[in-house]
Amino acid sequence: MAKMSVLVLAAGSGKRFGGNESKIFARLDNQPLFIRALQLFVNREDVAQTILVVSPRDFDQMKSKYGANLGFMGVQLVAGGDERFHSVANGLAAVNDDAEYVAVHDAARVCVAAEWIDAIFDAAQKSGAAAPVIAVTSTLKRVKPDHTIGETVPRDGLHMSQTPQIFRRDILTKAYEWLKTRAADLPPVTDDAQLVTESGGVVSAVEGDARNIKITTRGDLVLAGAVLKALPQRPVSRRGAFEEAQW
């Protein structure tokens, strides 16, 4: 069975979420978001390694409060960087030498069914790289600096990218090596599929799901709670360190 190392990114600024505590510590049904994200992967048979990448400002809190539990589960803790691609690069440096595939997932996306991960990994094994996307169905408007509506942007072929995105390790590593020489020439790198394609690679598009929402504001927690209850559930064995009472 092919296996992957998973980078769960919890190093974003979370400015739009508000509050004094980082978004990743916000609770959804009594569990922190980052735990919800880790639970998507830690019990999977095709996951050989799980790495949690945390903002430097949250690293000490994460280590002191949750480090023992994370260590018990075999989850490695890595400090992120200033930008998303810095955080991925730091996580990638911690991936086991024998890892064949690497999955990158945003900790703010907790509404993911196991079957969706299966489909993305299957596609990645066939093509080398795969990312879930959903078609844009709303009319797109470009808003001017004066907050008036400008042009209507044609939506033909436009899709919204989601995570997890899964890559053969050598493909993702090559893209990050390429980035070291081209970072100044690129627009902001907002996901890894972008980086792989910018560096000349090909990423297969897998049909995503609108329920795979990214929690950005506190209001999204309510929506995510409802979505979680409606997602198909695959029975898994509960492992002690993730029992709710311990978090």
SS3 53: strand
Q: What pLDDT is recorded for position 20?
A: 66
**Both tokens assigned to 21:** 């505590």
User: Facing residues of 204 across strands?
Assistant: 130
Q: What residue segments make up the domains of the chain, in order of their start?
A: 4-131+161-246
Residue that the structure tokens 């930008």 belong to: 83
Rounded average pLDDT per 10-residue block, the chain, 247 residues: 96 64 86 94 96 95 93 93 92 96 97 98 98 97 96 95 98 94 78 95 98 92 91 63 49
Domain 4-131+161-246 in this protein, CATH class: alpha beta
Distance between CA atoms of residues 40 and 151, nearest Å: 40
- Of the candidates 155, 162, 170, the residue with the CA atom closest to the CA atom of residue 191: 162
Q: Which amino acid does the sequence have at 100?
A: E
CB atoms within 10 A of CB 60: 12
Cα 24 to the chain's mean position, in Å? 12
Distance between CA atoms of residues 247 and 241, nearest Å: 8
